[in-house]
Amino acid sequence: MKHLTRVELEHHALAWIDAWNRQDLDAVLVPFVDDAVFVSPRAESITGNATVRGRSALQNYWKKALAAVPDLRFEIESAVCDESSQVLLVHYVSRAGGRTVRACELMRFRDGRQVYGEAFYGAEIGPNL
């Protein structure tokens, strides 16, 4: 049973940001188990449901989402790690389509692989924040 250390969780946060900024969906998907679950209010507009089940469905969702915002950029604010629970919360700023939004992504791991993710979005923020 693989247990991710705090350093590994923090590294995952940085690698996750980098993969999104390169729009490298293969790299984003590498840590996910085949039957992973992802919840996002934005998924509903693309998939018809806020809950996306399975790695393949995640790939399809994110491919369509990226096509709609090819200028997507993330900037990490912080990463909060709970090593004992194998949970990582990445707080970041998302810039896409002329909008800037603070967001968080909750990631749950089992045996070193991501089994669950959930995205939380704040209100649009101005350029000086």
Question: pLDDT per residue over 61-116, tens digit each?
Answer: 999 999 999 999 999 999 999 999 999 999 999 999 899 999 999 999 999 999 99
CATH of domain 6-122: 3.10.450.50
| pTM (predicted TM-score) | 0.93
Whether the predicted pLDDT of 1 surpasses 90 = no
pLDDT digits 0-9 by tens, 19-35 = 999 999 999 999 999 99
Does an H or E element contain 7, and which?
A: helix 6-21
> How do strand 51-53 and strand 99-110 relate by DSSP bridges?
unpaired
Residues 6 or more apart whose CB falls under 8 angstroms from that of 6 comprise: 81, 83
| 2 DSSP 8-state letter | -
Answer yes or no: are the C-beta atoms of 78 and 88 closer than 8 Å.
no
Residue 73, pLDDT score: 97
